[in-house]
Amino acid sequence: MSVKLLEVKNLKKYFPLKKYLPGNDTDYIKAVDGIDFYINSGEILGLVGESGCGKSTTVRTVLRLLDPTDGMIIFEGQDITRFNKKQLRNAYKHMQLVFQDPYASLNPRKTVGKAIDEVLAVHGMKNKMQRRETVQALFGMVGLKGEENKYPHEFSGGQRQRVVIARALAVNPKLLICDEPVSALDVSIQAQIINLLTDLKNRLGLSYLFISHDLRVVKYISDRVAVMYLGKIVETAPSEELFRNPAHPYSKALLSVTSELGTVTKKKKILLEGEVPSPVNPPSGCRFRTRCKYADKVCSEIEPEPKSIGNGHYVCCHLC
């Protein structure tokens, strides 16, 4: 039986946007507006969607790097939205972030080994010899054996991402949250990092929340996939099911422009018309209706709720 490691319920993150008008009213950017998802122990959930849909804000809110406006973030049965700083620090031993830009997340004045040594010291490993042995073991695990005394600028982009992964593993986490971890890398290097993440998941029993705009990568690595549009999750399904049989009109359009995936090779590309609406004043009802050729009156009046269409496949659409 699958055990839920992370469960997110009705998560919202609004950013205040002051209107410099008489009365000094305040509007809000609704970056994440009531989303629900879960990740089982040992599972990889892919989160996809076009730029600006709220993926990275979701990541930072789940980790409490941003305080949620509303909702619950339940990790191992505890709602971490209620945690104080000390409790969060303990929770971070089990939840770690792999950044999109590894160079920006490393101190250029310190060796990469020292960067990981500090993580171990902060989280309670007092013995220097034990820390050094752990650092060496971590670098061996990610394919950088003996490289711990180098500085960040001495590594390639792919090697720096391996360093960041090693640092994330230093505290024996259960969940890695990967925010576009391979988007800045060459295709051949992307494959190496994806294979490393897959190997570590199998070897250590890790769970991942994997954010990417590259559908090929998401299909390869994910067990399930959630599709996000304008702060909402519009479809969730097992990876093979979603890529074989997308149900939501937005998912169909998203997948159609990547025909080499083999899921819609006999269909022509679906080009969406119009601009993405503003998250300050999103459309009523279905968020996608202003760009959907199937939109009906009900789509503008009632916000669709997730409904099951079988095989663990859920879609938020009145007409699906």
Torsion of CA 280, 284, 286, 290, to 10 degrees: -80
- 178 lies in the same domain as 265: yes
Residue 320 lies in a domain: no
Q: Helices marked H in 125-222 — which ranges?
A: 128-141, 157-169, 187-204, 215-221
Tell me, what's the pLDDT at 25?
A: 60
Residue at which a domain ends, from 126, 142, 172: 172
Residue 51 lies in a domain: yes
- Model confidence over 172-203: pLDDT tens digits? 999 999 998 888 788 888 889 999 999 999 99
Tell me, what's the pLDDT at 214?
A: 84
CB atoms within 10 A of CB 70: 14
Residue 240 lies in a domain: yes
- 301 lies in the same domain as 201: yes
- 311 lies in the same domain as 208: yes
- Model confidence over 86-116: pLDDT tens digits? 899 889 889 999 988 888 888 899 999 999 9
Tell me, what's the pLDDT at 19?
A: 56
- 135 lies in the same domain as 178: no
Tell me, what's the pLDDT at 263?
A: 45
- 11 lies in the same domain as 61: yes
Residue at which a domain ends, from 150, 172, 194: 172
**E strand intervals along the chain:** 4-18, 26-40, 44-48, 70-75, 78-79, 95-98, 175-179, 207-211, 224-229, 232-238, 307-308, 314-315
pLDDT less than 70: residues of the chain: 1, 18-26, 259-267
Task: State both tokens at 162.
Answer: 């391996």
φ and ψ of 302, to 5 deg: -130, 130
Residue at which a domain ends, from 146, 172, 198: 172
Pairing verdict, β 207-211 and 44-48: parallel
- 129 lies in the same domain as 187: no
E strand or H helix at 116: helix 112-122
φ and ψ of 308, to 5 deg: -80, 135
Task: State both tokens at 33.
Answer: 């507006």
Residue 249 lies in a domain: yes
- 270 lies in the same domain as 144: no
- 111 lies in the same domain as 90: no
- 69 lies in the same domain as 205: yes
Domain region containing 270: 4-94+173-315
- 115 lies in the same domain as 259: no
**SS3 of residue 26 by DSSP:** strand
Contacts of 11 (CB under 8 A, 6+ apart): 32, 34, 35, 36, 58, 61, 62, 68, 70, 71, 72, 73
Q: Provide the CATH number for the domain around residue 71.
A: 3.40.50.300
- 193 lies in the same domain as 114: no
Residue 272 lies in a domain: yes
Residue 214 lies in a domain: yes
φ and ψ of 98, to 5 deg: -105, 120
- 40 lies in the same domain as 75: yes
Q: Is residue 15 exposed (0-12), middle (13-18) or buried (19+ Cβ within 10 Å)?
A: middle
Residue 222 lies in a domain: yes
Residue 17 lies in a domain: yes
Tell me, what's the pLDDT at 262?
A: 46
Tell me, what's the pLDDT at 147?
A: 92
When divided into structural domains, the chain yields a total of 2
Distances (CA, A) of 30 to 42, 57, 58, 65: 31, 10, 12, 17
Tell me, what's the pLDDT at 187?
A: 82
